[in-house]
Chain A
């Protein structure tokens, strides 16, 4: 019988190879259909009307003039469960929606909506003032911090922080909804195909089994697209009301305002350190905002959880902006920035090279050996030895260069997933899972696992995903997808193969136990002459295909996915001290990835994470008018994301070999994006000699820090 456990390196043909993503031909030719691309005969376009006020009561919504416009077919007015207008809590809150025969008519109709407000209030928009703290203290203490500070030769103290940013998915949130024969069909842009329908049951007035969800391609989620959301309900209600298909996709400004914010975090950290680099104590006081929702303190001290003496305090500030949503690696970029910058400052306080300082303290982490190897690798990739200089040392002229590093961790164990694999008598094979491919390569990963398990080339198997009629699979969040679907696929494929081996055994005169699937054949283990082609073997199935269902929690309990990885980033930057511009010269990303299924798409996660990380390190922040609460940069002109020329030379390295890969599969979408803020901020401090306390490292912040002194 074929074993469930992952095959050893000599038995992997596709697993771990460089395989191009299978949906590349569709994505590169414009034939991939995203939710935004779903058009139907007679389809209406719905658009949202949002409050310009941050705090107000809605007293009346008059849509009569809009409704009178030719082409306007449906109107939705937001009410709470008591049937009253909800209170407005941020500028951008949804008040009503219009469905019309064209986008232009819907847009124009929105200009004719009249909303009356009372109790227009002043919003609270400041998320970086500890005097505004509200809500519960979150604190942690270990050892005796005061005694620890007493033992220190030096105490370094600094302020650190990151502004609120948005997800800014290029395909905005939304869906197309269509009722047919009393059932609802929706095409949402979602990270959660199997779990999406329930969120529409109320709006559709249908049980979830009558709601059919499909999402084959989606244009980015990054943690913001788990639920059906208000706009999902609204398009459903409008579709029901008008008996027409309705497409509602957020406008670009709405995407920024309502569809997801990463919480900000600011604060002070004090570190006690001995001359030899021993850390004796940590004390941090952190505040920040998750909008009107709760603030969760980032996990501090980050990675160096074995610090003997520490005290942490975290407190939230309510801000009248759109709700926070999970943002790729929730709370880890914040934790990394605060921890790794504070540690870098501590190294500087005792005049130690930060690479040596970090290495000296790796015993305080969960995986000292991994980080040590990764730091050495990254240092070699960036030429740390050749390029490093003490902080602020004049590298000549107005262009100052510097190096900075950071380390990070993430879980990434597989989430719940079921997969059904069918082997047909004609030899065709299909794996079916109600999962989604966010661009992470889910399809490709499943095809690689399925084909390798059956001894076939990748193009001999087919994968179907993206529908909630398929075996349920968890939401794609927390880097849980690859571990989940690779496990369920391996489980289902192994069971199906074993059923096939049973069928074939009598014909070959070899016990099923002694058979293997290898190189397009079913054969006696290690003996190609005693075997038959895959197609011949399948033809023995007669009229009956084999279908087996597998799960992340596998049929015989074999564990195929594990949690917990470490990674390292080192940035090499140049800062123009006259303009404050930061340029990324190089960035080295080194990552422990567990068992790598597809080296190519795995590397892409590291490239992509690094670029997203450079973007929040240098450019991204939401800006609000303090008086009205209006977001001032809900676009891509003033909400900057890095362009192709802004990211420097990125070098990625995946840790490979039995020590890393024998553990099983781990997802790496999140760890890929955690260290950049800290590494780049540390590189800037190294270049200019002073700490720029907050991200993004915009020219004004850099010049401000320089003007406060320290530049040689």
Chain B
């Protein structure tokens, strides 16, 4: 519902437009350039045709380089979940509305359902699994537990990635800023009170 979402813009790529081009087996040069520019893939990319079959790619996930084969139309979300079995990142809307699939791409918050796997090559991908483990929780993860900020927990990984980046970028954020800044994620169980408290607390602690 909230529209103000300054720090949490999803990547600006039109996935459907790109799929269309790839699906037809020939990527229009203009389209690829547009994608490259908006995603910042490479400053002077030479247009290349990828696919339609599987191509080998490498993804840097939580500090590990992983090799896999994907069709160019495969999203980063599906590559993580279906190819690499990195399932902490959730699929809910698959179209950039809910934030369940939020990951960090070179530190930037993105919806991984709205980024193609091939675009994420040469970038550092950090998923929820990269932030902490049950035996070594990050401060934000511990704060979520303390404030009971998850019920079913399905939205939780996306929220924790988003709030972790939020406090990193907004140390000392006020309650109002927390509310405005986290409009890019949805929860059905209604854990917003706990999420707000956890994020505010972490922001006040300096957000590191």
Contact = CB atoms under 8 A, between A and B. Distances in A.
Contact of A438 (B81, B152, B190): B152
Interface in A647-701: 647, 650
A220 B94 contact: no
Nearest to A641: B186
B90 A219 contact: yes
A698 to B, nearest CB: 12
The 5 closest A-B pairs by CB, nearest first: A30-B88, A611-B190, A219-B154, A439-B152, A439-B151
A93 to B, nearest CB: 22
10 contacts: A25-B145, A27-B150, A29-B128, A30-B89, A104-B74, A170-B152, A220-B152, A610-B190, A635-B97, A646-B1
Contacts of A601: 148
Interface residues of B, number: 63
B155 A644 contact: no
B1 A645 contact: yes
Nearest to B154: A219
Contacts of A30: 87-89, 127-129, 157
Interface of A: 20-21, 23-34, 36-37, 39, 45, 102-104, 168-172, 217-220, 222, 251-252, 438-440, 600-601, 603-604, 607-612, 615, 619, 635-637, 640-647, 650
B64 interface: no
B152 A21 contact: no
Contact of A31 (B133, B145, B150): B133
B67 interface: no
Nearest to A24: B145
B152 A25 contact: no
Contacts of A646: 1-2
Nearest to B128: A30
B170 interface: no
A645 B153 contact: no
Interface string B40-70: 0000000000000000000000000000000
Nearest to A40: B85
Given A27-B150, A600-B148, A644 B194 contact: no
A36 B183 contact: no
Given A635-B95, A644-B178, 20 more contacts: A26-B153, A27-B150, A28-B128, A28-B137, A28-B156, A29-B131, A29-B132, A103-B82, A104-B78, A171-B152, A439-B153, A439-B189, A607-B191, A608-B189, A608-B190, A611-B187, A612-B189, A641-B1, A645-B1, A645-B182
Contacts, number: 193
Contacts of B191: 604, 607-608, 611
Contacts of A642: 1, 192
Given A103-B82, A171-B152, A29 B188 contact: no
B109 interface: no
A170 B73 contact: no
Contact of B154 (A170, A608, A619): A170
Given A252-B92, A635-B95, A640-B1, A218 B134 contact: no
A643 B188 CA distance: 9
A644 B166 CA distance: 14
Given A28-B145, A635-B95, A168 B1 contact: no
B179 A644 contact: yes
Contacts of B193: 607, 611, 647, 650
Interface string B137-150: 10001101110101
B148 A636 contact: no
Contact of A218 (B88, B135, B152): B152
B125 interface: no
Given A29-B132, A607-B190, A252 B94 contact: yes
Contacts of A619: 1
A29 B141 contact: yes
A611 B192 CA distance: 8
B145 A21 contact: yes
Given A640-B1, A645-B1, A28 B183 contact: no
Contacts of A29: 88, 128-129, 131-134, 137, 141
Given A644-B195, A645-B183, A39 B153 contact: no
Contact of B100 (A24, A26, A170, A611): A170
A219 B153 contact: yes
A131 B44 CA distance: 66
B202 interface: no
Select the residue from A32, A168, A615 with max chain B CB neighbours within 10 A. Answer: A32
Q: Which of B90, B92, B148 has the most CB of A within 10 A?
A: B148
